[in-house]
Chain A
Amino acid sequence: MPLPYKTQRVAYPYFVIALLLFVLQVIFGIWLALSYAVTIPQWLVDVLPFSTTRAIHTNLLVLWILLGFMGTTYYMIPEESERELYSPKLAYAQLALLTGVGVTAIIGFIFGWTKGKPLLEIPFPLDWLVVVGALIFLFNVGMTIVLARRWTVIQGSLFGGLVFLAAMYLFNLPFYNNLTIDWYYWWWVIHLWVEGAWELIAAALTAWILIKITSVPRETVEKWLYVELGLFLFTGITGTGHHYYWLGAPKYWLWFGGIFSALEPLPILLMVADAGHYVRNRRMEIKGKLIFTLATGMAIIHFIGAGFWGFLHTLPQINYYTHGSQVTVAHGHIAFFGAYVLLNLMFFYYAMPKLRGLEEFDERRGTFAFWWLSITMMLMTLAFSVAGVLQTYIERVMGMGYMTAQAQMRFWFAILVVLGGALLAGVILTVVDLLTLRAPRSAERDSAGRSAAATVSHS
Chain B
Amino acid sequence: MNWKSAKLIFYLGTFISLAIFLVLTFDTHRQVETLTHADKLSPEVIAGKRVWHKYNCNDCHTILGFGSYYAPDMTKAYWRLGADGIKRIVREPEKYTTWRKMPRFAVTDEELDRLVAFLRWTSEIDTNEWPPQDQKLKPGLLAQPRPAAVSAGLSPGAALFQEKGCFSCHRLNDTGGTIGPDLTHVGARVPQATIAKILTDPRSVKADAIMPPTALSAPETEMLARFLGEMK
Residues of A within 8 A of B (CB): 35-36, 39-42, 45-46, 49-52, 54-55, 112, 114-118, 121, 175, 177-184, 186, 223-224, 226-227, 229-231, 233-238, 240-241, 243-254, 256, 260, 320-321, 323-326, 328-329, 395-404, 406-407
A198 to B7, CA, bound (A): 20
**Residues of chain A with a CB closer than 8 A to B69's CB:** 324-326, 328-329
A237 to B7, CA, bound (A): 18
Q: A55-B59, A112-B56 are in contact. Are A36 and B12 (CB under 8 A)?
A: no
**Residues of chain A with a CB closer than 8 A to B1's CB:** 223, 227
A68 to B109, CA, bound (A): 45
Comparing B19-27, B81-89, B215-223, the segment that makes contact with chain A is B19-27
Residues B133 and A179 in contact, CB atoms below 8 Å apart: no
Interface majority SS (helix, strand, loop, mixed), chain A: helix
Closest chain B residue, CB of each to CB of A48: B103
Contact with A along B100-112 (1 / 0, CB 8 A): 1111100000000
**Residues of chain B with a CB closer than 8 A to A118's CB:** 58-59, 66-68
Chain A nearest CB from B80 CB (Å) reads 10
Q: How many residues of B contact A (CB 8 A)?
A: 76
Interface centre among A114, A179, A329 (most CB of B within 10 A): A179
**Residues of chain A with a CB closer than 8 A to B41's CB:** 177-178
**Residues of chain B with a CB closer than 8 A to A184's CB:** 25, 28, 32
Residues B32 and A248 in contact, CB atoms below 8 Å apart: yes
Residues A114 and B56 in contact, CB atoms below 8 Å apart: yes
**Residues of chain B with a CB closer than 8 A to A407's CB:** 99
Residues B128 and A245 in contact, CB atoms below 8 Å apart: yes
The contact sample of 12 A-B pairs, CB cut-off 8 A, is A39-B101, A50-B59, A51-B60, A51-B68, A117-B58, A175-B50, A180-B36, A181-B29, A251-B128, A324-B62, A396-B132, A399-B132
Is B147 interfacial (CB 8 A cutoff)? no
Residues of B within 8 A of A (CB): 1-3, 6-7, 9-14, 16-18, 20-21, 24-25, 27-29, 31-32, 35-36, 38, 41, 46, 49-50, 52-60, 62-73, 94, 98-104, 118, 122, 125-133, 136, 169, 177-179, 210
Residues B24 and A321 in contact, CB atoms below 8 Å apart: no
Closest chain A residue, CB of each to CB of B43: A177
Chain B nearest CB from A170 CB (Å) reads 15
Other A-B pairs beyond A51-B70, A246-B64, 19, CB < 8 Å: A45-B103, A54-B59, A54-B70, A116-B53, A116-B54, A116-B57, A175-B50, A179-B36, A179-B63, A180-B36, A230-B6, A241-B21, A247-B66, A248-B64, A396-B133, A399-B132, A401-B178, A402-B73, A403-B210
